[in-house]
Chains A and B, each alone.
Chain A
Amino acid sequence: MLDETRIAKLLVKLVCRDLTDEGRVELDSWRAASAQNEVFLQMVTSDASIIDDLKVFMGMNKASLLAKIDAGVLENRSFSEPEALPVPLYRPSIRRLKPYLWGAAAVVLVCLILTYLLKAPGKEDQTAMTPAGGPTDPFYSRNAPDSGSVRLTLGDGATRYLDSMKDGVVARQGNMQASVAEDGKLLEYVTTSAGQTSSAVYNILTVPYGARFKLLLSDGTKVKLNVGSSIKYPVAFTGDKRVVEVTGEVFFDVAPDSHHPFIVRAHKEEVEVLGTNFVVSDYPGEKQAKVAVGSGLVRVRNGGGSAQIRSSQGVNIGEGGEIRVDPNMDLSSMLALKEEYFNFDGLDQKEALTKLAESYHMRILFDDKIKNSPFGSGNIQRDLPIKRLLRDLELPDLHFEVRMQENTIVVTR
């Protein structure tokens, strides 16, 4: 520390042109000691051009940044291109030291500090730092889960990849313990005696296309997630209602508890139940959501109104908000999560394959020689891993190469 204080003083002398030859030798050896030292020295002693930049920067504030982020998350908007390019590896290139610009150094430093101070100590800016209405929930962003793994996102944002885990405990949050069971097909929550009571900790379970998963919530409610679905839920239910949020297609067998109604929120609708089994199907990008009831009574609500659905009934919920009973719905296959085909009727080869790649969140590249012929049979199973699925689609003049690392499917003749 003494050493560093000394270097600091030498640097000050350097900037103030008050450095003795002895001091310069000492400083030079410090400079040569690490690239970071060199860069730092360069920063405090050169490059006056940042002054103007810094002045422009003064108008920045956090509130507008937060507004952009919230808007982006809600509206699924991006301010740049949809795909992030990988950061190229760089080797820091340290330039040769310019002659020191003594006067400029002082000005740079002052401006550096000025930038901060002109906006920071103000009280109004401090309050702008905390978002007023609480964090925006990214859950409703209309994105299907990405391809690949069954993911569990914990309350602190950490991620567990469940399909690569053996049966056993995957996370402890307060007094709640989450474990994988049934040969990696079920995630269950149990209360343990250790730890504090978990309140308001939410987890998100995300199931990609090509996989299904089961979940046993802390209240005993059984949940099954169909392909390309996700659910957000508290690790322990504490309030007077049990509320979960879903996308995609999810089956519930709700543990009866008349004092704590169970509420399922989806993008287009909200379903309230006391104790019953039913399926909510609300995939991103699909115009209609569906609710099918196996037993009991549920109430479906959306922006427009609400309707009660009895057992063995199904309803469609359109984007306009209307809730209509659908007498033709195949309830048994709905309740068994058997909607297992992509529907590609009427699409040509390229369109169909593009749509397929989209649902697995992969890019697709076509060889120039691919002809736009009709796609043939319209039914493709939804619950297969992409490689397996494409293998079934191979034709003498249609070949696929899956580049997992680049998240890309290449189609050739």
Chain B
Amino acid sequence: MSHENLDPRSLLDEHWERLQFFAFTLLDDKDLASDAVADVFIRILKHENSLAEVRNIQQYLYGAVRNSCYNVLRKKLVPASLADPAALEELSAVEEKWAAEHEQNVIRAEMREMLATLIRTLPAQQQEIICRRYFNNEKILEIADKMGLSEYQVRTYGEKAINQMKINALKADSWQGLLLVVLLQDLMR
């Protein structure tokens, strides 16, 4: 038995983002992706899918979402009334592809989540600086102006943020996280 928290609402809070991203990498449609994730949780909430005997909840959820993506796609491609052989063939090809690439897709979602988590743990002000500096490519002066800070403060808080993310990655024993932070810092310098 797992000691993880199996309350569906907490699971949803914890995993929705990675799962939705994962579904999106499969379906390439944000609305269908959220349909697929919604379905998994509807089943869980209605107790159709019991979590009691699941060993690895995260692995289970990724599998369930992939399944759900398949059903969503099947519903879209093959209307119940007519079973078009071409569509069915396409569907089974997609299924094979998803199965083959499952691990890569999971890692991709996990990587994204890892970095997101590192950024999320920063104080709001540092988050904003990182966002503006590294992703909007705003200049230090611009940021200082917009946020009502001095240039020196922006620089210092930015460095603090990067350092904090590194420390957090190390604390979490996550070399992948550390790598992502170092890459982030180096590539955008």
Contact = CB atoms under 8 A, between A and B. Distances in A.
Given A110-B135, A143-B46, A121 B127 contact: yes
A289 B74 CA distance: 38
Interface in B85-134: 95, 99-100, 102-104, 107-108, 111-112, 115-116, 119-120, 124, 127-128, 130-131, 134
B72 interface: yes
Contacts of A157: 6-8, 51
Contact of B30 (A56, A106, A138, A143): A56
Interface in B36-63: 36-39, 41-43, 45-52, 63
Dominant secondary structure of chain B at its interface with chain A: helix
A129 interface: yes
A219 interface: no
Interface residues of A, number: 74
A53 B115 contact: no
Contacts of B141: none
A101 interface: no
Contacts of A158: 6, 52
A12 B179 contact: yes
A118 B12 CA distance: 21
B20 to A, nearest CB: 6
A53 B25 contact: yes
A129 B30 CA distance: 18
Interface string A1-28: 1001101110110011000000000000
Contact of B43 (A5, A11, A53, A84): A84
Interface stretch (A86-94, A272-280, A388-396): A86-94
A115 B112 contact: yes
Given A1-B170, A68-B34, A157-B51, A138 B45 contact: yes
B153 interface: no
B152 interface: no
A81 B72 CA distance: 7
Contacts of A68: 34-35, 38
Contact of A113 (B47, B50, B67, B184): B184
A80 B127 contact: no
B135 A114 contact: yes
A80 B115 contact: no
Interface in B159-186: 170, 173, 175-176, 178-180, 182-184, 186
Nearest to B180: A109
Contacts of A39: 103-104, 107
Nearest to B103: A92
B25 to A, nearest CB: 6
Interface in A36-65: 36, 39-40, 42-44, 50, 53, 56-57, 59-60, 62, 64-65
With most chain B CB atoms within 10 A of its CB, the pick from A42, A113, A120 is A113
B5 interface: yes
Contact of A8 (B7, B52, B63, B178): B178
Given A62-B16, A113-B184, A7 B112 contact: no
A110 B52 contact: no
Given A116-B112, A116-B116, A44 B179 contact: yes
Contacts of A112: 111-112, 115
Interface string A117-159: 1101101000001000001101001010010000101001111
A73 B39 CA distance: 9
B115 A116 contact: yes
A153 B41 CA distance: 16
Contacts of B36: 79-80
A118 B128 CA distance: 10
With most chain A CB atoms within 10 A of its CB, the pick from B24, B43, B187 is B187
A60 B34 contact: yes
A80 B173 contact: no
Nearest to A115: B112
Contacts of A168: none
Contacts of B176: 40
B187 A116 contact: no
Given A12-B183, A43-B111, A141 B30 contact: no
A129 B17 CA distance: 11
Contacts of A115: 21, 112
A84 B21 CA distance: 21
A39 B101 CA distance: 11
25 contacts: A1-B175, A5-B178, A9-B182, A12-B179, A15-B183, A36-B107, A50-B108, A57-B24, A60-B30, A65-B16, A77-B42, A79-B36, A79-B68, A81-B75, A85-B70, A85-B71, A87-B67, A116-B115, A120-B127, A138-B47, A143-B48, A153-B47, A156-B5, A156-B6, A158-B52
Closest 7 CB pairs of A and B: A80-B71, A4-B175, A68-B38, A79-B35, A72-B42, A159-B52, A92-B103
Given A44-B183, A204-B47, 13 more contacts: A9-B182, A12-B182, A39-B107, A43-B107, A53-B28, A73-B42, A109-B183, A110-B134, A113-B134, A120-B120, A158-B52, A159-B50, A159-B52
Interface of B: 5-9, 12-13, 16-17, 20-21, 24-25, 28, 30, 33-39, 41-43, 45-52, 63-64, 66-68, 70-72, 74-75, 95, 99-100, 102-104, 107-108, 111-112, 115-116, 119-120, 124, 127-128, 130-131, 134-135, 170, 173, 175-176, 178-180, 182-184, 186-188
